[in-house]
Chain A
Amino acid sequence: EVQLVESGGGLVKPGGSLRLSCTASAFSFRTYSMNWVRQAPGKGLEWVSSISPGGDKIYYADSVRGRFTISRDNARSSLYLEMNSLRADDTALYYCTKDTRVGDPGDAFDVWGLGTMVTVSS
């Protein structure tokens, strides 16, 4: 079964850092673009970042650019999100998602993990 499992969330103080991980299984991870999408409590969905299969094309939402870094390790079938200078409005459930088609970012998301919760509070 195609699966994405996120980890690394937790409670962090404003200005702090956190590294999220997503482990993929049962599909050819190295051929798909991957993404992070977040959802604040009781709110809608917000795209955060995307990365191409080889990691050469990376995109960020304006709200996180310069503070978050997306990366991947194809040998480990893993996706990461390094989050620095965290703010209260970064509090959300962070989902790892897979693009529907092989290739560059810019696609619907056909597989979602269960998410990992990030809470930024003093």
Chain B
Amino acid sequence: DIVMTQSPDSLAVSLGERATISCKSSQSVLYTSNNKNYLSWYQQKLGQPPKLLLYWASLRDSGVPDRFSGSGSETNFTLTVSSLQPEDVAVYYCQQYYSTPLTFGGGTKVEIK
């Protein structure tokens, strides 16, 4: 099984500042045949289902603000919120869909400082 490890578990960022979340996979999620990283990011606000933010590690889903960006390849990935807004308070999860069992990171809680 591919283990997804997120860090930190939580972080507090001032409004307008950058938030950065790390996600590491225990093995590569890069398919060399198509050069795609099978890695997605989700945002879950309190009391709501998760919402897809990014897939293929860096492609924003429809309607996702451009302050959300993803980077990385193979085993190391980053979600960046360039300028934190009040509505970005949430728990963020990474997920690999390279192989079953599909696995999620443990989550990172983002709060306002």
Q: Which residues of A contact B (CB under 8 A)?
A: 35, 44-47, 50, 59, 61-62, 95, 100, 105-110, 112-115
Contacts and interface: CB of A to CB of B under 8 A. Distances in A.
A20 B42 CA distance: 24
16 contacts: A35-B102, A44-B106, A45-B42, A45-B93, A45-B107, A47-B101, A47-B104, A95-B49, A100-B61, A106-B102, A107-B97, A108-B97, A109-B40, A112-B49, A113-B49, A115-B49
Please classify how large the interface on chain B is, using the bins under 10, 10 to 19, 20 to 34, 35 or more.
20 to 34
Nearest to B50: A112
- Report the 7 A-B pairs with minimum CB-CB distance, sorted nearest first: A108-B40, A108-B55, A112-B49, A47-B102, A45-B104, A59-B100, A44-B107
Interface of B: 38, 40, 42, 44, 49-52, 55, 61, 93, 95, 97-107
A105 to B, nearest CB: 7
Give the residue among B40, B55, B95, B97 with the most A Cβ atoms within 10 A: B97
Given A44-B93, A106-B38, A108-B55, A61 B101 contact: yes
B52 A109 contact: yes
